């Protein structure tokens, strides 16, 4: 009897009030079949009768071996019991029996308190992004995932050097409005490294975390399990954000990424059973407020401007107004701009170049340099009139005794 017949029999009897004999005649089934359907509260289910296995006769011996050596491999057990047939059935039976002789070892489920932690990592997207000057590349993307809410944040940065890492980190935290109490990083050289069995953060990273009042924990080398949240987020970005997209610049990549992230944070999370956006406010409420003074991030360097009036930053040269040649200048750079200041006065501002080994020139600086060189060429140095005594040449003849020879 099928489930459909069972359901129809019960409907005819319970809803229509049709007697057993009429149902049997209408459906062309036996009356005993109708009675069995009416007496069963669950639908019929086919159950295959159990058959014996060729390994049943050696199961007592398998149990004896597992009782003494619970971790003995199935191949060794087959050898000890003299098994000469297929190993598949023995392995299957050992897999069923082994848990009876091993103590339970449940895994611990990792949980995160609100505001406690966020994991950070660099994702290198397998896509060629135009960087300008005919160059293409795959700059790193700084990814951060909050532990409690699973809120995903990301931004592409020019390099993996410490100034750019801190600039990207501050950009993400500024957008979030607060800072987690702990940031977890892997063994990234721009963050720090392990020496003598202990993690040592760089001076800039220590200054950054000190300003925010948070902890930065660096995982041991080759330990991706310690930051599985962000590792899975990297895979999610690669499979859900990247396919089918093309980019014309790093700025275009970031624009598309920031437009996509709200959709990612609004999706149903399988482990949480809700959306990251549903837990964000509770997560943010337990985080640390940002300091009133922003931490020092980005590039900061001081140099004396050479005669060619260019400063070098991250493998690129940027022009500076030539009026400050020979003076000390301060170079400040973030993810988008490069600024040069001399005596508190700005003397250059450029868009950050993501390509390598390029010279970025402001046309105004070139014109000013041409004018200064021309003025220097036209400068006339007036000679100083100084009287010089003229000596009589006969004095030299007298000195060397040549006048007496001429007389003789």
Q: For 127-158, what is each residue's pLDDT tens digit?
A: 999 999 999 999 999 999 999 999 999 999 99
The pLDDT confidence band at residue 12, using thresholds 50, 70 and 90, is: confident
Alpha helices in 315-401 (DSSP H): 363-378, 394-399
For residue 248, give both structure tokens: 């014309």
Reference 174, options 166, 164, 182, 163; nearest CA is 166
Angle at 319 between CA 313 and CA 321, to 5 degrees: 130
Summarised one tens digit per residue, pLDDT across range 177-190 is 999 999 999 889 99
Nearest to 255 by CA among 266, 265, 244, 241: 241
* H-state helical runs in 138-214: 162-176, 203-212
CA distance 214 to 116: 10
105-119: average pLDDT: 81
Confidence band, pLDDT 50/70/90 cuts, at residue 103: confident
Residue 43 CA to its chain's centroid (Å): 52
Place of tokens 């809410």: 149
Q: Does pLDDT of 47 surpass 80? A: no
| pLDDT digit string, tens, across residues 231-277 | 999 999 999 999 999 999 999 999 999 999 999 999 998 888 899 99
Supply the pLDDT for residue 109.
Answer: 62
Token pair, residue 273, equals: 């059973």
- What mean pLDDT is predicted for residues 97-121? 84
Q: How far is CA 390 from the centre of its chain?
A: 84
Q: How confident is the model at residue 408 (pLDDT cuts 50, 70, 90)?
A: very low
User: Which has more confidence, 402 or 8?
Assistant: 8
pLDDT digits (tens, 9 = 90+) for 292-345: 999 999 999 999 999 999 999 999 999 999 999 999 999 999 999 999 999 999
- Cα distance between residue 66 and residue 165, in whole Å: 54
Burial of 115 from C-beta contacts in 10 A (0-12 / 13-18 / 19+): buried
> What is the structure's pLDDT at 48?
79
Q: Angle, nearest 10°, between helix axes 3-14 and 20-27?
A: 140
Task: Tell me what the mean pLDDT of segment 51-69 comes to.
Answer: 90
- pLDDT value at residue 256: 96
Q: Which residue has the higher pLDDT, 379 or 345?
A: 345
The yes-or-no verdict on residue 26 having pLDDT over 80 is: yes
How far apart are the C-alpha atoms of 248 and 257, rounded to whole Å?
A: 13
Task: Write down the pLDDT at residue 36.
Answer: 86
Assess whether pLDDT exceeds 60 at residue 407: no
Based on the number of CB atoms within 10 Å of its own CB, is 396 exposed (0-12), middle (13-18) or buried (19 or more)?
exposed
Q: What is the largest CA-CA distance in the chain?
A: 175
What local confidence, expressed as pLDDT, does residue 388 receive?
A: 73
In percent, how much of the chain has pLDDT > 90?
66
Question: 194 - beta bridge partners?
Answer: 199
d(CA 198, CA 220) in angstroms, rounded, equals: 9
pLDDT surpasses 70 at 377: yes
pLDDT of residue 107: 62
How far is C-alpha 56 from the chain's CA centre?
Answer: 53
User: Which of 138, 141, 122 is closest to 130 using CA atoms?
Assistant: 138
pLDDT, one tens digit per residue, over 340-365 is: 999 999 999 999 999 999 999 999 99
């Amino acid at each position: 009897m099928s489930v459909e017949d069972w359901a129809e029999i019960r409907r005819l009897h319970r809803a229509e009030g049709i007697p057993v004999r009429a149902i049997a005649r209408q459906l062309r089934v036996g009356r005993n079949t109708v009675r069995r359907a009416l007496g069963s509260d669950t639908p019929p289910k086919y159950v295959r009768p159990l058959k014996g296995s060729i390994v049943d006769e050696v199961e007592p011996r398998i149990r004896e071996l597992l009782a003494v050596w619970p971790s003995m491999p199935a191949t060794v057990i087959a050898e000890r019991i003299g098994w000469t047939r297929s190993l598949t059935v023995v392995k299957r039976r050992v897999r069923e029996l082994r848990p009876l002789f091993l103590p339970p070892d449940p895994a611990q489920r990792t949980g995160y308190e609100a505001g406690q932690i966020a994991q950070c990592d660099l994702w290198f997207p397998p896509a060629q992004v135009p960087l300008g000057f005919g160059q293409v590349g795959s700059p790193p993307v700084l990814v951060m995932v909050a532990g409690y809410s699973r809120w995903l944040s990301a931004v592409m940065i020019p390099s993996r050097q410490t100034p750019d890492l801190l600039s990207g980190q501050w950009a993400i935290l500024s957008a979030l409005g607060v800072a987690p109490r702990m940031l977890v990083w892997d063994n990234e050289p721009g963050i720090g490294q392990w020496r003598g069995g202990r993690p040592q953060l760089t001076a800039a990273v220590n200054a950054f975390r000190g300003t925010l009042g948070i902890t930065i924990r660096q995982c041991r080398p080759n330990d991706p399990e310690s930051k599985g949240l962000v590792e899975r987020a990297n895979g999610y970005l690669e499979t859900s954000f990247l396919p089918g997209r093309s980019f014309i610049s790093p700025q275009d990549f970031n624009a598309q990424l920031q437009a996509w992230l709200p959709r990612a944070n609004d999706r149903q999370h399988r482990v949480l059973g809700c959306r990251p956006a549903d837990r964000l406010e509770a997560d943010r409420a337990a985080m640390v407020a940002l300091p009133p003074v922003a931490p020092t991030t980005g590039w900061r360097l001081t140099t004396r401007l050479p005669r060619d009036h260019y400063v070098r930053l991250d493998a690129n040269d940027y022009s500076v107004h030539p009026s400050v040649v020979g003076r000390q200048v301060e170079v400040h750079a973030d993810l988008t701009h490069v600024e040069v200041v001399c005596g508190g006065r700005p003397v250059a501002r450029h868009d950050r170049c993501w390509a390598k080994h390029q010279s970025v020139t402001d046309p105004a600086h070139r014109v000013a340099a041409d004018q200064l060189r021309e003025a220097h060429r036209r400068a006339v140095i007036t000679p100083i009139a100084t009287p010089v005594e003229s000596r009589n040449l006969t004095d030299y003849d007298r000195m060397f005794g040549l006048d007496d020879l001429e007389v003789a």
